[in-house]
Amino acid sequence: MNISNTPAKDVVNFMKKSPIAIIAIGSIEYHGAQAPLGTDYIIPDYIVSKLSHRDDILTLPPIPYGNCQSIKDFPGTINIGSTNLINILNSIIDSLLNSGLKKFIFVNGHGGNISALDQVGLDTFEKGGLVATIDWWNLAKLLNPDYDGGHGDIQETSTVMAIDRDSVNLEYCEPLVINELSNEITNKYITLHNYKNGNVKIMRSFKSVVPNGWIGPYDPKNSTVDLGDRILVDVIDYIEEFIESFKKVEQI
């Protein structure tokens, strides 16, 4: 059931059955010239919308803004920071706990939100609730190695294309450019660097690492609606199964 567009009396009665509340969380940020700034919330919001038919789920409107401190140098990116995201989500959770709900699922579309979502999950646990967070892009690559990808590469671009074909223009694709720190310390993925046999994390702004705004193993110029469709189907199927098991969890 959708909390926003259903008669309130039906929502109030539905909440007495302690449904799981599910909320999409993303960001408005640059993903390369070809992809929409809303990529990170459009995808989770679509996934959540596909679950609203269920009689054990209360779907909420998405949180389209996130923590984009490292990417904020790119025009169009909107950064609300981790503290604001934590405060918004904790306020939403407090309201839902007040309405008798106990279990929550975050469908997250943005890596920069992860530490904030961990914090809210722990805060919620301390209040007697339970949060399950699903980072859809990490889930996708575990479900099928063909779905592997990085920030703004073939994985995200194909998936957002499958939802809204006109939101992507593959003619705008730019090549992958990585500004390496040195010949000895080489970039593995965004902040993670290879050095000899190990990895070292070095924080820099995203733009100073990849001036074209995307990074990943697969060029977004090869994105297809077909790949995005398959990713969405498999991720949504997985979440549907997870909900069945999550609702059986009794101990909080």
Could you tell me the smallest distance in angstroms from the CB atom of residue 233 to Zn ion? 20
For residue 224, the Cα-to-chain-centroid distance in whole angstroms is 20
Please report how close the Cβ of residue 31 comes to Zn ion at its closest, in angstroms. Answer: 5
- Report yes or no: 56 and 243 within 8 Å, Cβ to Cβ: yes
Question: Is the CA virtual torsion 123, 60, 26, 217 positive or negative?
Answer: positive
Our CA angle for 115, 241, 8, nearest 5°, is 80
- The Cα 243–Cα 237 span in angstroms is 10
- Count the residues in the chain: 252
Instruction: Give the residue, chosen from 21, 23, 40, 163, that forms a contact with Zn ion under the rule CB under 5 A.
Output: 40
Q: Map tokens 């009689």 to a residue.
A: 55
* 3-class DSSP state of 82: helix
Q: How many residues bind Zn ion (CB under 5 A)?
A: 1
Instruction: Specify burial of residue 104 (Cβ count, 10 A radius: 0-12, 13-18, 19+).
Output: buried
CB of 242 to Zn ion, least distance (A): 22
State the angle between helix axes of 154-163 and 225-246 in degrees (0 to 180), rounded to the nearest 10: 90
- Min. distance of Cβ 86 from Zn ion in angstroms? 20
Closer of 129 and 152 to Zn ion (Cβ): 152
The window from 14-22, 38-46, 72-80, 166-174 that contacts Zn ion (CB under 5 A) reads: 38-46
- Shortest CB 67 distance to Zn ion, Å: 12
Least Cβ distance, residue 252 to Zn ion (angstroms)? 31
229-248 mask for Zn ion (x: CB under 5 A)? Answer: --------------------
User: Residue 1 or 168: which CB sits closer to Zn ion?
Assistant: 168
Burial class of residue 2 (count of CB atoms within 10 Å of its CB; 0-12, 13-18, 19+)? middle
Closest to Zn ion by CB, 95 or 138: 138
- Closest to Zn ion by CB, 2 vs 212, is 212
Q: Which stretch binds Zn ion (CB under 5 A): 6-14, 36-44, 82-90, 235-243?
A: 36-44
Closest Cα to residue 168, out of 75, 34, 40? 34
Site for Zn ion in 104-123 (CB under 5 A): none
Q: Is 45 in the site for Zn ion (CB under 5 A)?
A: no
Q: Which is nearer to Zn ion, 82 or 124 (CB)?
A: 82
CA nearest neighbour of 60 among 112, 32, 23: 23
Least distance (Å) between residue 201 CB and Zn ion: 19
Q: Which is nearer to Zn ion, 104 or 214 (CB)?
A: 214
40 or 45: CB nearest Zn ion: 40
**Residue type, position 142, single letter:** L
CA pair distance 176, 157, nearest whole angstrom: 14
Sites of contact with Zn ion (CB under 5 A): 40
